[in-house]
Amino acid sequence: MNQGYIRVAAAAPGIRVADPDYNKEQLLGVMREAAGRKAKLIVFPELCMTAYTCGDLFLQDRLLDRAREALVWLARESADLDILAFIGLPWEMDGKLYNAAAALCGGKVLGIVPKTYIPNYAEYYEARHFTPGSRKTAWIDFMGEQVPVGTDLLFRCRTVPGFTVAAEICEDLWVPCPPSIAHAEEGATVIVNCSASVETVGKDAYRKSLVEGQSGRLVCAYVYASAGEGESSQDLVFSGHNMIVENAVPLAESARFTGETIYADLDLTRLVNERRRMSTYPARQGGSHTIVDFSLKTEPLKLERFIDPAPFVPRQEGERNKRCSEILMIQSLGLKKRLAHTGIRNVVLGISGGLDSTLALLVAAKTFDMMGLPRSQILCVTMPCFGTTDRTYQNACRMTQKIGASLREIDIQKAVLQHFQDIGQDPQNHDAAYENSQARERTQILMDIANQTGGMVIGTGDMSELALGWATYNGDHMSMYGVNASVPKTLVRHLVGWYADNCGDEELRGVLKDVLDTPVSPELLPPDGGVISQKTEDLVGPYELHDFFLYQMLRFGYEPARIFRMAVSAFEGRYEPDEIRRWIFTFYRRFFSQQFKRSCLPDGPKVGSVSLSPRGDLRMPSDACSRIWLAQLEEMQEKESI
């Protein structure tokens, strides 16, 4: 329950029609089970205290009285449970009967929420028994307490920031303007729905689309519990279709007809942050809802929630393939527009045999095909120097030839050695000047060749390198259009792999696969026995970790300690916590210190939800201080070492 996570449940226990005494026992048993699993919220189906299918028995005083007595018993018997529960039951007030949900916590009934929209079509005839609820809150004396009754109740937890719950009942979700819209606008982050949705062919898909869509529109969590086993099958069948969805993303869904209780860990911080960053999300007006405060204990929670270790890369192969095709098209359309606008018909790019320059070449090839230009007007320049290995050199040459681009080789060793002599650099001193001189010499050559040919230099650097500042300022950092500028390294790999699998050329496929198997390296230091000696991920850390940190920091604004905790869970069994801690320190130090490089980036197309463009998504001062971010990591480390 710390750092914004909270476990919730949706249940559809087996009940009996018109038997509140039996049903209350079933509800209590499930509540105890849920509390034992550290769930802090549980939602039960519509009218579950009596069963939804009681028909005209809802007009019987005996049933209504026993349902109310069962609610009192359940509240008292669950007083020792640290959980908020929503129970469906018929509720009589002022001579009218309401289809309602009672909120229970700590031995008390916190509030009664009546159903707003009463269906009376097809198989439904609720208007025969029930009255629509009122938005105006009434107060009644119940169990020695003043209890609010009304549709516009918000249950706000004092001890868990961001945990504000509102309820709607079944049909309320199906109407054009569900009550949950107003609830979310007034601050509800979690919407619960006590439902009794009839099972007919195909209805499950429609029901799921409604829940996911509403959750996405409202940027909320939606906990949906539907009637199941025990309801009368005289004319209808109920499947117990339970769902937990967070901002349109399904977290848990029960198998229908099983009576399964489902659990999920909600990320309240994510919901709050997402609303905050959306300038179009309505600000809370206040005054229209009644706030009901309650408290829950806070305790450590071992997450059962799946945290994707590769947030930039879709998990499903079909979706991943679709994403790769889409991103390549976005990159190519961006370059196509720039070439069309400038009237340029030639491009120049440095080809190294590495992942990034490979992707840039594939983008250029697709762009030229779209423009009806010959690929020979793509000039790839290979510029071997001190660190170039035969493997990357051969791959660069073979790849260029297979793509059908032009290839030019310029050995830069003499030029760099002359530069060393000019500036007084000892060639045996393999410092930053030794490395960066090579990168800047290559960029100068590309720019000058572009001037010679009336061409445009295509940048190859990716977003992960930009996040870490792993680029030579005014070297590989600079170009005339950066096609990979918003593609993270983890996604670059999948894009190249996808192209390899779909190019239809076995020889090209073999080259691309070997590029994928080659260690990531700038190749600025001499090789060791002909093998790459300078491996980027040994120096700055694994890109899959840095991409994870980058996504969570920029996409959701999470704090370092929270990102660390998420990474420990996401990479369990792959990286030890101490290793993750080491590299997250590196990430924050480099991310803040290297903003000056990102502040003057060349143009490039945005392809995803995270971008480092200084003109778009990240307007960050180059002099921003990292102290408070690093301090939190240091404090966390000190606490763990005690």
Q: Which residues are catalytic?
A: 46, 115, 170
CA Rg value for the chain = 31
Give the type of residue at 547.
D
Query: How big, in percent rounded to 5, are the helix, strand and coil portions of the chain?
Result: 45, 15, 40
**Nearest alpha-carbon partner for 443 in 406, 478, 397, 412:** 478
For residues 6 and 3, what is the distance between their CA atoms, to the nearest angstrom?
Answer: 9
- List strands edge to edge, sheet with 243-246: 249-253, 243-246, 221-226, 190-195, 164-169, 153-157, 290-294
For residues 193 and 208, what is the distance between their CA atoms, to the nearest angstrom?
Answer: 13
For residues 507 and 402, what is the distance between their CA atoms, to the nearest angstrom?
Answer: 8
Collapsing DSSP to helix, strand or coil, 113 comes out as: strand
Q: Which residues contact 288 (CB under 8 A, 6 or more apart)?
A: 135, 152, 182, 186
For residues 504 and 232, what is the distance between their CA atoms, to the nearest angstrom?
Answer: 59
> What are the angstrom distances between the C-alpha of 147 and each of 109, 139, 231?
7, 5, 29
Torsion 559-562-568-571 (CA) sign: negative
- Maximum distance among all Cα pairs of the chain, rounded to whole angstroms: 101
Collapsing DSSP to helix, strand or coil, 196 comes out as: coil
Q: CB–CB of 368/436 below 8 Å?
A: no
For residues 607 and 340, what is the distance between their CA atoms, to the nearest angstrom?
Answer: 20
Give the type of residue at 553.
M
In this structure, what are the phi and psi dihedrals at residue 582, rounded to the nearest 5 degrees?
-60, -45
Neighbours of 144 (CB within 10 A): 7
For residues 448 and 36, what is the distance between their CA atoms, to the nearest angstrom?
Answer: 70
For residues 347 and 450, what is the distance between their CA atoms, to the nearest angstrom?
Answer: 7
Neighbours of 44 (CB within 10 A): 32
How many helices (H) and strands (E) in the chain?
A: 19, 20
> What are the angstrom distances between the C-alpha of 97 and each of 51, 72, 357, 441?
15, 18, 70, 82
For residues 334 and 364, what is the distance between their CA atoms, to the nearest angstrom?
Answer: 11
